[in-house]
Amino acid sequence: MAKTIEPPILMSRILTFVLAASIVVLGALVGVLIKMMPLERPEVFFLSTPTRSTNVIIEPLVPDYNNEIAVNNYVQGFIREYVIARNTLTQNVSATRKNWIDIVETWSSKDVLKKFRDTIIYNDYTFNDQPITFDCSVNFDSSKFLSTRQDNKEYIVPFNWICENSGGQTIQKNYKIQIRIRSELDKKVSDVVDNLEKLSRNPLGIQVVEYTVLDGANDPLDSIISD
């Protein structure tokens, strides 16, 4: 006689399987949320729709720098991301270059961008087919990060720059950067419309218009780290 499973036993096994699957899915969701943290700043997007008119209309969307939430959430995250992108170096030269193009070049004024492009390491990574590569990371002291000056558009950002060359030599230096920002949308909107792709990567049009290394130190990207 074929063996049969009693209904209560079958139901118990089904419930056990469903419970186990739920735990696996829940664990995966928790893992994804952990990787997404911390959510440092909200991302702002423009949504465009097809229109019969050939004119592009962009309404200025300027953050209120006197609003504590705007400063803490968006501006602080913007500056943190900018400093990290500018000073992070990896063995993957293409990834470092892409980071500079997508963030630093998009978020910098012409003057700041020129100084950035004049640095030793930028030129080595950009024009040398086999540059001396490093692993450099940026660490912030959360208790000292981002003090504000003047009209809430100028910030002092201290950070620790940790670099390791291919020989395993590790160098750590403390830097203090003075950053001043402004919104490009404060200017004539027509000045921004010509570069919609750039605007899509930086919806509020905020740019770094001053980037100064304080305390008499050289720019980290003008450092020469022996291989």
CA dist 135 and 171 (Å) reads: 10
Question: Distance between CA 67 and CA 73 in Å, rounded?
Answer: 10
Cβ distance 135 to 169 under 8 Å?
no
pLDDT at residue 129, as a whole number: 79
Neighbours of 130 (CB within 10 A): 7
* Residue 163: both structure tokens together: 């670099």
Within a domain: 97: yes
CA-based nearest residue to 203, from 109, 106, 116: 106
Is the pTM for the entire model greater than 0.75? no
Residue 208 covered by a domain = yes
How sure is the predictor about 86, in pLDDT bands with cuts at 50, 70 and 90? very high
28 within domain boundaries: no
pLDDT of residue 64: 55
Q: Is residue 27 part of a domain?
A: no
The pLDDT of residue 115 is 94
Decide if 13 is inside a domain: no
pLDDT score of 21 more than 60: yes
Distances from the Cα of 188 to the Cαs of 6, 26, 60, 193, in angstroms?
77, 49, 9, 9
Task: Tell me whether the omega of the peptide bond preceding residue 38 falls within 30 degrees of 0, making it cis.
Answer: yes
Classify residue 63: in a domain, yes or no: no
Question: 39-43, 152-156, 188-192 — which one is most confidently predicted on average?
Answer: 152-156
Rounded average pLDDT over 73-88 = 87
With respect to residue 31, please indicate whether it lies within any of the assigned structural domains: no
Per mean pLDDT, which of 57-61, 101-105, 167-171 is the most reliable?
101-105
**Gap between the Cα atoms of 195 and 209, Å rounded:** 18
Please determine, for residue 190, whether its predicted confidence score (pLDDT) is greater than 60: no
111-165 confidence digits (pLDDT tens): 999 999 999 999 998 888 788 778 899 998 765 666 665 555 788 889 999 998 7
Domain CATH code at residue 135 = 3.10.450.230
Confidence of residue 67 (pLDDT cuts 50, 70, 90): low
The three-state DSSP-derived secondary structure of 19-44 is HHHHHHHHHHHHHHHHHHCCCCCCCC
Show the domain range for 124: 68-221
What's the average model confidence in pLDDT over 19-42?
75
Residue 127 lies in a domain: yes
Number of domains in the chain: 1
User: What was the pLDDT predicted at 19?
Assistant: 86
